[in-house]
Structure 1
Amino acid sequence: MSLIHTEDVLLLAIVTLIGGYQLVSFAKLTGAARRKFKIVYPAVTGNPDFERVYRAQQNTLEFFPIFLCTMWVAGVYFHQIAAAGAGLVYLYGRNKYFSGYTVSVEGRLPGFRLSGKTLYAMLGMSVVGLTHAVLMEYLNINLKVKLLHMYYNKKY
């Protein structure tokens, strides 16, 4: 059993805070759109331009727990730098998604695709990392060593 030290998750924590900042920024933009289009609380409909901003914010909130889970598991069990880098790409994609959606429904697609592909990448890193950890912990099989051994012992 190994202990996790703060330096082992430092980059993940930084990307998490950047993500939190992004959520706050999107909430402020949604509030500004609510004022601009005169949408009185608790209404969330009434103007298509406001509705696109609102949906962009809500969709980002809906995906945030998935983002956090996959990034942190990938960072702890696969590689912190790879997971944090993917997290930054995901947040960039969400920014493109938000800004594109505020212009048009179709404008959301490039950012949505980028962030979706990045979630799948972090999920893949998580599965590989967890598989390795389970094999090490319960079967004493070091997958990294076996793969390196297979690679370097190939006959050409």
Structure 2
Amino acid sequence: MEIAIAIILLALIQYMIFSGRVGWARAKYGVAAPKTVGHEIFERIYRVQVNTLEQLMIFIPATLAFSIYVHSFWVWVPGVAFLLGRILFARFYERAPEKRAVGFAMGFLANVVMVLWSLTAISISLLSA
């Protein structure tokens, strides 16, 4: 379970960095709160933060479920794939949004794997009880 919690905490740190970048971009590009539109680069940085929040809603419970019902050690594989995918997504989205697909796919597939594998393991456990 410690690996899962460490990965979740790393994802939260990553999200805090993305959030900090939004604040930095607001100042740099003159987009005063509560506005969420303005300079194109600001909007890209903001979308990275919002999309990451949307993915974290799946990632956090999926990581915990995978750690409990599938394997507490091997959770690092999809966990690291998610974190790296978010980095790639952010870098590509900010520079050329049309190239964000690889990073998005890495994170999304990591979530899919954890959700489906956990659900399968839970189902098998319930059916064998």
TM > 0.5 fold call:
yes
Q: Aligned pair 1:116/2:108, yes or no?
A: yes
Q: Aligned pair 1:127/2:119, yes or no?
A: yes
Q: Aligned pair 1:75/2:101, yes or no?
A: no
1:11-50 residue CA offsets vs partner (Å, 9 max, x unmatched):
1111011011001110111111111111111111011111
**Please, which runs of 5 or more residues in structure 2 have no aligned partner?**
none
Greater RCO (CA < 8 Å, at least 6 residues apart): 2
Moved over 6 A (4+): none
Q: Aligned pair 1:23/2:2, yes or no?
A: no
Give % identity: 27
Counterpart of 2:29 in structure 1 is 37
CA distance in 1, matches of 2:110, 2:5: 18
RMSD over equivalenced CA pairs, Å: 1.2
**What TM-score do the two structures reach when normalised by structure 1?**
0.78
Counterpart of 1:10 in structure 2 is 2
CA distance in 2, matches of 1:132, 1:78: 11
> 1:86 aligned to 78, 92, 96, which one?
78
Residue 107 of structure 1 and its aligned partner are, at CA, apart by 2.6
Counterpart of 2:40 in structure 1 is 48
SS at match of 1:81: coil
1:81-111 residue CA offsets vs partner (Å, 9 max, x unmatched):
2223211111110111111111121132110
CA distance in 1, matches of 2:73, 2:121: 13
CA distance in 2, matches of 1:33, 1:93: 22
CA distance in 2, matches of 1:99, 1:109: 11
CA contact (8 A) 1:52 1:104 kept: no
CA radius of gyration, larger in: 1
Report the count of equivalent residues. 129
